[in-house]
């Protein structure tokens, strides 16, 4: 299907979209994948060595997402090294020569783009689910459990729905995905609405996931400064929304008139490039709360201790509304023991816990190590 027989007349679109070059593709693929691996390695170090807690589903999910992110980075590196991504797009001969023109670089780019999109569905989905299961380990209450489970179901449907939509974009005529453009248009449905829907819903789900714990944090009876500190930890993922919004804006601008310059390799490279940026940031942001004790003096554990303690006290207050504050304080030890039954197995406090944060509570009553490790 190549048009190399007309090389004397064939033209190439040599400009690179947004200044993306083969070197920058390799750099982004290597750096973002490397940052994701480092972030998860630090997360596991804090959880297994510093805190000595067992791993849970949120840890395994982010590990899966990291392996997939690493695969995405390798695809970018290999695709650029093999002279596919960010290379000139063949235009063929004549005003619509690009419909039948193709070469090895374009075929390789289209194959990588298809595999990259399939992998990123599960990479994004696993990262989102990891954050949601982290929330469920912190917050209690039927309403929160219902809302978080609804989000988990939505993310699962979103992940598998777009995976199969991308997989069978051309039905079982998979060859059409890397054939000249006229065969793609003849055998496959228009992908622009689907990819726009993917980008839009990606940002929307991230916004809901980030906003989910804010209401419950605002109900805690603590100072405004502490509330802002707790919210700040949960809002670290806002940078993911910013990256997703940037990718969405670029993608919409790009697809308003995808055949304006017929830069097929440029279009696909740009989508891969910005998807990798968002994916790498997503993994790092999901791990930041866990590795926070390594980055600053403030221990995340003391913050989480306060959150869990407040939820324990709120639950006990609702169960015994007639008790006075003095009575509650006088029986703090018994209340702490009941809180231990509500929140899970007894666990030992980590070294990062300061004395003031545990005043009035039994050390180890609330599984704080488990939360800091997240």
Do 276 and 336 belong together in one domain? Answer: no
Residue 341 CB coordination number (10 Å): 10
pLDDT at residue number 295: 63
What distance in Å separates the CA atoms of residue 246 and residue 222, rounded to the nearest whole number? Answer: 36
pLDDT at residue number 12: 64
Pick the residue with more confidence: 312 or 237? Answer: 237
What distance in Å separates the CA atoms of residue 366 and residue 341, rounded to the nearest whole number? Answer: 9
Do 134 and 222 belong together in one domain? Answer: yes
> How confident is the model over 74-78, as a mean pLDDT?
97
Q: What's 256's domain CATH number?
A: 1.20.1070
pLDDT at residue number 272: 94
Res 215 pLDDT > 80: no
The mean pLDDT of the chain is 77
> How confident is the model over 339-356, as a mean pLDDT?
35
Domain boundary residue, one of 243, 262, 296 = 296
Do 174 and 202 belong together in one domain? Answer: yes
Res 212 pLDDT > 90: no
Range in 20-34, 205-219, 331-345 the model is least confident about = 331-345
Do 167 and 54 belong together in one domain? Answer: yes
Tokens of 12: 């190439």
Q: What is the pLDDT of residues 81-100, one digit of tens each?
A: 999 898 888 887 777 777 88
Domain boundary residue, one of 265, 296, 327 = 296
pLDDT at residue number 14: 54
What distance in Å separates the CA atoms of residue 299 and residue 306, rounded to the nearest whole number? Answer: 12
- Which of 146, 156, 151, 150 is CA-nearest to residue 126? 156
Range in 15-19, 98-102, 350-354 the model is least confident about = 350-354
Do 61 and 79 belong together in one domain? Answer: yes
> What is the reported pTM?
0.75
Do 178 and 254 belong together in one domain? Answer: yes
Q: How many domains does the chain have?
A: 2
Residue 103 — pLDDT band, cuts 50, 70, 90?
confident
What distance in Å separates the CA atoms of residue 134 and residue 137, rounded to the nearest whole number? Answer: 5
3-state secondary structure of 214: helix
pLDDT at residue number 361: 32
Res 274 pLDDT > 80: yes
Do 286 and 308 belong together in one domain? Answer: no
Domain boundary residue, one of 244, 272, 296 = 296
Bridge partners for 12 per DSSP: 90
pLDDT at residue number 350: 35
| b/e map 200-224, b = 16+ CB within 10 Å | eebbebbbbbbebbeebbeebeeee
CA atoms within 13 A on the CB side of 180: 15
Do 27 and 172 belong together in one domain? Answer: yes
Give me the sign of the Cα torsion angle 52, 54, 57, 61: positive
- Alpha-carbon separation of residue 337 from 239, 292, 307, 345, 364 (angstroms): 39, 29, 17, 11, 10
Q: What is the pLDDT of residues 298-343, one digit of tens each?
A: 444 454 554 455 445 444 444 444 444 444 444 444 443 433 333 3
Do 313 and 286 belong together in one domain? Answer: no
Residue-range definition of the domain harbouring residue 41: 4-296
Res 139 pLDDT > 70: yes
What distance in Å separates the CA atoms of residue 33 and residue 240, rounded to the nearest whole number? Answer: 15
- Which of 350, 83, 239 is CA-nearest to residue 367? 350
Do 203 and 318 belong together in one domain? Answer: no
Do 201 and 249 belong together in one domain? Answer: yes
Q: What is the pLDDT of residues 153-202, one digit of tens each?
A: 999 999 999 999 999 999 999 999 998 888 988 899 888 889 999 999 99
Residue 68 — pLDDT band, cuts 50, 70, 90?
very high
Do 135 and 240 belong together in one domain? Answer: yes
pLDDT at residue number 44: 93
Residue 47 — pLDDT band, cuts 50, 70, 90?
confident
DSSP output for 246-297: HHHHHHHHHHSSTTSS--HHHHHHHHHHHHHHHHHHHHHHHHHHHHHHHHSS
């Amino acid at each position: 299907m190549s048009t190399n027989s007309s090389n004397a007349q064939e033209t190439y679109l040599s400009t690179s979209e947004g200044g993306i070059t083969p070197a920058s593709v390799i750099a982004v693929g290597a750096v973002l994948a490397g940052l994701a691996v480092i972030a998860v390695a630090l997360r596991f170090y804090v959880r297994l060595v510093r805190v000595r807690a067992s791993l849970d589903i949120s840890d395994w999910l982010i590990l899966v997402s990291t392996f997939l992110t690493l695969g995405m980075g390798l695809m970018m590196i290999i695709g650029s090294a093999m002279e596919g991504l960010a290379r000139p797009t063949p235009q063929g001969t004549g005003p619509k020569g690009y419909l039948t023109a193709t070469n090895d670089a374009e075929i390789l780019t289209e194959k990588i783009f298809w595999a990259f999109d399939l992998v990123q569905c599960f990479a994004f989905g696993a990262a989102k689910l990891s954050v949601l299961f982290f929330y469920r380990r912190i917050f209690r209450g039927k309403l929160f459990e219902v809302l978080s489970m609804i989000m988990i179901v939505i993310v699962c449907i979103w992940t598998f729905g777009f995976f199969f939509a991308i997989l069978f974009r051309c039905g079982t005529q998979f060859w059409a995905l890397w054939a000249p453009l006229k065969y793609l248009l003849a055998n496959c449905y228009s992908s622009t609405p689907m990819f726009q829907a993917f980008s839009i819903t990606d940002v929307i789900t991230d916004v809901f996931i980030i906003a989910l714990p804010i209401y419950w944090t605002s109900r805690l009876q603590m100072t405004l400064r502490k509330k802002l500190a707790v919210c700040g930890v949960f809002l670290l993922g806002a940078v993911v929304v910013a990256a997703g919004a940037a990718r969405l804006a670029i993608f919409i601008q790009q697809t308003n008139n995808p055949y304006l310059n017929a830069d097929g390799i440029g279009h696909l490279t740009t989508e891969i490039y910005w998807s990798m940026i968002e994916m790498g940031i997503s993994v790092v942001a999901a791990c930041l709360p866990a590795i926070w004790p390594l980055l600053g003096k403030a221990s995340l554990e003391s913050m989480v201790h306060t959150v869990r303690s407040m939820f324990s006290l709120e639950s006990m207050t609702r169960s015994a509304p007639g008790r006075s504050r003095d009575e509650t304080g006088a029986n703090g030890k018994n209340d702490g023991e009941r809180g231990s039954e509500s929140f899970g197995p007894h666990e030992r406090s980590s070294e990062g816990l300061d004395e003031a944060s545990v005043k009035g509570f039994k050390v180890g009553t609330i599984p704080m190590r488990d939360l800091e490790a997240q």
